[in-house]
Amino acid sequence: MATRSQICLFSHPEMEVVAEKIARTCSADGKHEFVSQESEMLTRHLSRSSSFKGALEPRSVCFKKSINWGKFNDGFPNLFINDVKEIAGKDVIFLASFHSPQVIFEQLGIMYAIPRYLARSFTVILPYFPTGTMERVDKEGQIATAKTLAAMLSHIPMTSRGPAQLVIFDIHALQERFYFSENVIPRLESAIPLLLREMRNLGDKNNLAIAFPDDGAHKRFNSFFPGARFIICSKIRDGDQRVVKINEGDPMGLHVIIVDDLIQTGGTLKECGRALLKAGADKISAYVTHAVFPKDSWKSFTGDSVKFENFWITDSVPHSTQIAQHSPFKLLSLSDVIADTLLVNMPKAKDRGDKANGPYIRKAKDNNNASELVDDEDLDVSMEEVHLE
pLDDT of residue 26: 81
Whether domain 192-315 has CATH 3.30.420.40: no
pLDDT higher than 70, residue 223: yes
CA-to-CA distance for 46 and 372, rounded, in angstroms? 8
Report CA 328 to chain centroid distance, whole Å.
Answer: 23
**CB-count exposure of residue 83 (10 Å: 0-12, 13-18, 19+):** exposed
pLDDT of residue 58: 56
pLDDT of residue 239: 65
pLDDT higher than 70, residue 45: no
pLDDT higher than 70, residue 47: no
pLDDT higher than 50, residue 86: yes
Report CA 214 to chain centroid distance, whole Å.
Answer: 22
What pTM does this model have? 0.81
Number of helical (H) and strand (E) elements in the chain, helices listed first = 10, 17
Question: Average pLDDT in the 182-205 region?
Answer: 94
pLDDT of residue 381: 35
> Strand pairing partners for 313?
331
CA-to-CA distance for 309 and 255, rounded, in angstroms? 9
CA-to-CA distance for 43 and 29, rounded, in angstroms? 18
- Nearest CA among 109, 71, 70, 115 for reference residue 93: 115
DSSP classification of residue 347: B
Q: What angle do CA 42, 47, 48 make, to 5 degrees?
A: 105
pLDDT higher than 50, residue 387: no
**CB-count exposure of residue 124 (10 Å: 0-12, 13-18, 19+):** buried
Q: Which residue has the higher pLDDT, 309 or 374?
A: 309
Cβ atoms of 184 and 156 within 8 Å: the answer is yes
Report CA-CA distances (Å) from 7 to 59, 99, 109, 363.
7, 25, 21, 26
pLDDT of residue 347: 52
pLDDT of residue 40: 54
pLDDT of residue 375: 37
Q: What is the CA radius of gyration of the chain?
A: 22
Cβ atoms of 152 and 108 within 8 Å: the answer is yes
CA-to-CA distance for 78 and 67, rounded, in angstroms? 10
CA-to-CA distance for 284 and 269, rounded, in angstroms? 11
CA-to-CA distance for 104 and 65, rounded, in angstroms? 19
Dihedrals φ, ψ of 163, to 5°? -65, 150
Cβ atoms of 375 and 382 within 8 Å: the answer is yes
Question: Average pLDDT in the 353-381 region?
Answer: 37
Asked if the domains 7-191+337-387 and 192-315 are classified in one and the same CATH topology, the answer is: yes
CA-to-CA distance for 288 and 337, rounded, in angstroms? 15
The domain limits of the chain are 7-191+337-387, 192-315
Q: Which residue has the higher pLDDT, 104 or 216?
A: 104
Lowest mean pLDDT among 30-44, 170-184, 351-365: 351-365
For residue 348, name the pLDDT band (cuts at 50, 70, 90): low
pLDDT higher than 60, residue 298: yes
- Nearest CA among 294, 283, 292, 295 for reference residue 328: 283
Length of the chain: 389
CATH number of 7-191+337-387: 3.40.50.2020
pLDDT of residue 277: 96
Got the DSSP string for 263-322? ESS-HHHHHHHHHHHHTT-SEEEEEEEEE--GGGGGGGGSSSSS--S-EEEESSSTTHHH
For residue 1, name the pLDDT band (cuts at 50, 70, 90): low
Share of the chain above pLDDT 90, in %: 68
For residue 4, name the pLDDT band (cuts at 50, 70, 90): low
- Nearest CA among 311, 315, 283 for reference residue 299: 311
Q: Which residue has the higher pLDDT, 235 or 217?
A: 217
Report CA-CA distances (Å) from 209 to 145, 156, 231.
35, 42, 7
pLDDT of residue 383: 30
> Strand pairing partners for 242?
237
